[in-house]
Structure 1
Amino acid sequence: MELLTISKAAKRLGVHPNSLRNWEKQGLIKPVRLPGGQRRYSMDDLNRLLGSGQVLAGGQETVVLYARVSTKKQAEAGNLDRQIGRLRQYAGENGFTVRAELTDVASGLNQKRRGLTNVLKLAERGEYKKLLIEYPYRLARFGYEYIERHLKYCGVEIIAIAEKEPEDAQAELVRDLLAIVTSFSARLYGAGGGRKVREGFRELIAEVQTGEEAKEEQKESSRS
């Protein structure tokens, strides 16, 4: 009987080693334990498990879809549904099997998002190989590289399917900047001072936007 290490068994099946550990916890497979406690898997057991249809072969094609909008208004306007729809289409066109569709209605600064938490949990259990998102900031406004590194450690690749950011991306960035400024200024100057700084920052952004719009108008005039 041929016995394989967990890494070789996972490579043979095209899954992450965590998938084998997870299947063991679920009682779907029972590896042979060596005197030192190491796991060994027989090919007969692995083939029997895959043939039962209880698990998905070719785990490298299994994906999770993640979409996020920052406000309830955006979700009610259908932005979240359209975002998921585009991810579904991409998954279908590339022959991926969707393990889960996860969404959040929250700021990209919020680190306690339920959808994001489940993205990480499923990755840690080795249940998918690719994470589909539209843009990196949908996953996180800051700290994206840390999430990417953790997912890579779990054997998950992030795929951002869109090339050009949507028109509402700048508006969301402004909201996030306001949230950051308010948080830090409130700590430094108190709640009242924080509000004043926020108002001043909002006015500054409005002035910058007005100036940019004026420049664009001048460019258009010179072209005509």
Structure 2
Amino acid sequence: MEKLFRMNEAAKILGVTVKTLQRWDHSGKVTFVRTPKGQRRLPESEINRLIGNDADKESEKNLVIYARVSSHEQKTKGDLQRQIDFIKRNIDLNSYRQVTVIEDVGSGLNDKRKGLVKIMKLAEAGLITDLAIRYRDRLTRFGFDYLETYFESYQVTLHILDDQTDEKPPQEELVDDLIAIITSFSGKLYGIRSHKNKMVEEKVKEVLEDVANLPNETADHSTT
């Protein structure tokens, strides 16, 4: 009897997301079978067929490795390079004709990051076939599904190599993102270089850092 794979197992083997597999199913690119309980399973023959198709096109595949950190301090500490190194260790670079590394230093809420915009233009021009990131939130903090759909519309396969959270604590990342939002708005009101804008930025940073540290302080009090 032919071996059948669960959706998440098949996605891991093929190096795509579960959502991508679901879209392939709806478009007829893959053929799933149903268990008696109605659950979708991908036959081993289908996986081999897809892998075979990919092998035939290896010489045409171009990969972009994308990494992002929120601040120059993180880049200085090596967080950006660690993302890149992790991706290179966990993807078969020999499968691609060309591998390009694109990086950003900026908030995940900023949808006009130079690196992200560059990748989108490459996708539109048909110059890349694959995009690899370590974490989902490196691409964007919100609206990930929209970007995934966007890249798939240009036949760009998205590879997420680590489902765990980033090395920086979530509270700190959110503080950075919130500061970026408020700084942007206050900059428009008072001018980016104005003294008043700098005061707003520092005050907001102070308050948000206090909020981020609150869980730790609460935990310390509970143990005393």
TM-score range, shorter chain: 0.5 to 0.7
Unaligned runs of at least 5 residues, structure 1: 1-55
Alignment partners' CA distance in 2, 1:132 and 1:112: 19
For residue 118 of structure 2, what is the amino acid of its counterpart? N
Partner of 1:202: 205
**Residue matched to 2:179:** 178
| Equivalent residue, structure 1, for 2:87 | 87
2:161 corresponding residue in structure 1: 161
Larger radius of gyration: 1
Residue 71 of structure 1 corresponds to which residue in structure 2?
A: 71
- Shift of the 130–60 alpha-carbon distance from structure 1 to 2, 3 Å rule, reads farther
RMSD: 3.2
Gaps of 5+ in 2: 1-55
Alignment of 1:136-151 (within 5 A): 136-151=136-151
Residue 90 of structure 1 contacts residue 161 of structure 1 at CA under 8 Å; is this kept in 2? Answer: yes
How far residue 197 of structure 1 moved from its aligned partner, in angstroms, is 4.6
Aligned residues: 165
Report 1:14-29 matches (<5 A): none
Q: C-alpha distance in 1, partners of 2:111/2:212? A: 29
Structure 1 residues 154 and 59: alpha-carbon distance in aligned structure 2, compared to 1, 3 A threshold: farther
Tell me the TM-score normalized by structure 1.
0.59
Question: What TM-score do the two structures reach when normalised by structure 2?
Answer: 0.59
Work out whether residues 63 and 132 of structure 1, in 8 Å CA contact, stay in contact via their aligned partners in 2: yes
Deviation of the 1:132 alpha carbon? 0.7
> What whole-Å deviation, never above 9, does each CA across 1:105-147 have from its counterpart, x for those lacking one?
3333444433223312222233333211011221223443432
- Give aligned-pair identity as a percent: 35
Aligned residue number for residue 116 of structure 2 = 116
